[in-house]
Amino acid sequence: MLFPQSPFRTDEPVLELVEISAPPGTIGPGPSGPRMYTVNAQGKTIPYGAIVQGPEGPGMYLPPWHGELHAPPEPDEDGHFFHIEPSDPRFEAAHLFAAAHFTLDVWEAYFGHKIPWHFARDYDRLELSLLPSLDNAHIGWGFLETGGTSEHGDEYRAYSLNFDVVAHEIGHAIIYSVTGMPVSEDVPGEYYGFHESAADMVALIASLHFGSVVEELLESTRGNLYTFNQLNRFAELAGNAQIRMAANTRLLDDFVCGWNSEHALSEPLTGAMFDILVDIFHERLLVHELITPEMEDLSDQLEDSPYYGEVMQALFDDRYAADPEGFRLALLEARDILGSYLAAAWSMLDAETLTYAAVEQALLLVDGNSTGGAFHSIIEGNFRMRGIGLVEAGPRLGEAGDDSHAHSVRTRVPDGL
């Protein structure tokens, strides 16, 4: 059982039962399995990835944990963990494992093959570590470590219970695996923005595999996905707080003179991806005759207009009420089209030469190979609207901040690579 959305956004969070793709009998206490295992350490104070003094000098502090453990969650006689309630101290470990494994399962299905860990040189499995004192959550060399935050009053909010946070970090691991890790500091700045955008898309697409998320999304928007809603919130920690939005108006032109944050730099690319998702959704609605061509044309014309919501919402209300199930199926089709396109496109990219324009060209190639170019105008049009393919991001302005993922624990590699 896991929370598809942050349990801190509402007084009545929804739990959903998920299945993970592991052979029967291979998931043991921890939980632990062939691809990853959870560790709830006793007495651990130093986060993984930190540089510590060792017998041979300074080096990275890395898994595995050799100390004492808190009591791990145990599977029932059938190998399941759904008997563990959120009030159980062991639930956090089970939730972290389920969120990480489910995300990996979703994306391995889109890739059509097992995704090897980028740290496979040293580790066969990913250690999922709970470290409450860490005010962060990050993937690293052989580990995904989560802490929590107390910045929302006195309540401690564990990142391990936030599916978007965990899925985002698994997204980074996927991208490191398929595009490679940069071997120098001379990679284009857009590589770092791409990493954040791709990790956000991994979380967004994975979240749409939860029935409760899809149902709430469509019921609250009536299919008008440009409405501010839970789909375009990432790492939501409260009902009115979000870190970044997929439905944004950022242009790459805003970064021609340079950039300070890869999170901000990612927004034009993520915005283009979200718009592509919505446009493909509209195309599927058209195919199933759930909206009219005139309605789609009007939506395109009013996309940047302040009157969009006023005009389009009434139309979506009527159409959605006539066939909610049809809208749901169209959204799932759009989800899977974009998910499979992204997996194929990301596999064509290389960290050392990665730009947003290269992402566009890879998507267009995938579209051409898959459908003969059915979504060519959608892909190209949304990238151009963001300035992608017309301009490039300038250099990083100043040193990387504390919230930067560049040259951080996420990218730190022990000697010998």
Spell out a b/e string for 31-53, using b for 16 or more CB atoms within 10 Å of the CB, else e: bbbebbbbbbeeebeebbbeeee
User: Where a domain ends, among 179, 198, 219?
Assistant: 179
What is the extent of the structural domain holding 101? 36-179
Q: Quick one: pLDDT band at residue 54, thresholds 50, 70, 90? A: confident
DSSP 253: G
The amino acid present at 42, given as its one-letter code, is: Q
Give Cβ neighbours of residue 279 (< 8 Å, ≥ 6 apart).
Answer: 375, 378, 382
369-391 pLDDT per residue, tens: 999 999 999 999 999 999 999 99
User: Which of 144-158, 235-249, 312-326 has the highest average model confidence (pLDDT)?
Assistant: 312-326
Distance, in Å, from the CA atom of 271 to the CA atom of 275, rounded to the nearest integer, reads: 6
Does residue 153 sit in the same domain as residue 225? no
Find the length of the chain.
Answer: 417
166-181 pLDDT per residue, tens: 999 999 999 999 999 8
pLDDT score at 235: 45
Does residue 125 sit in the same domain as residue 231? no
Does residue 171 sit in the same domain as residue 194? no
Does residue 214 sit in the same domain as residue 329? yes
Asked if residue 291 belongs to a domain, the reply is yes
User: Which of 5-14, 98-107, 290-299 has the highest average model confidence (pLDDT)?
Assistant: 98-107
Does residue 149 sit in the same domain as residue 239? no
Backbone torsion region of residue 378, taken as left when φ is above 0, otherwise alpha when ψ lies between -120 and 50, otherwise beta: alpha
Distance, in Å, from the CA atom of 35 to the CA atom of 103, rounded to the nearest integer, reads: 12
Does residue 96 sit in the same domain as residue 230? no
Asked if residue 412 belongs to a domain, the reply is no
Does residue 83 sit in the same domain as residue 194? no
pLDDT score at 277: 94
Pairing of strands 157-158, 143-146: unpaired
Asked if residue 30 belongs to a domain, the reply is no
- With beta carbons less than 8 A apart as the criterion, state whether 310 and 218 touch: no
Q: Quick one: pLDDT band at residue 356, thresholds 50, 70, 90? A: very high
User: Where a domain ends, among 123, 153, 179?
Assistant: 179
Does the predicted model carry a pTM greater than 0.75? yes
* CA distances for 132 relative to 46, 148, 165, 188, 265, angstroms: 11, 6, 15, 35, 30
pLDDT score at 181: 86
Does residue 204 sit in the same domain as residue 347? yes
pLDDT score at 11: 82
Mean pLDDT of the chain: 90
Asked if residue 53 belongs to a domain, the reply is yes
Across the range 97-102, mean pLDDT stands at 97
Does residue 142 sit in the same domain as residue 216? no
Query: What percent of the chain lies above the pLDDT cut of 90?
Result: 70
User: Where a domain ends, among 179, 203, 223?
Assistant: 179
Does residue 234 sit in the same domain as residue 363? yes
Across the range 194-214, mean pLDDT stands at 94
Asked if residue 415 belongs to a domain, the reply is no
Closest by CA position to 193, among listed 85, 268, 281:
268
Domain CATH for 172: 3.10.170
Does residue 93 sit in the same domain as residue 241? no
Closest by CA position to 9, among listed 249, 229, 245:
229
- Domain tally for the chain? 2
pLDDT score at 240: 31
Does residue 154 sit in the same domain as residue 218? no
pLDDT score at 9: 80
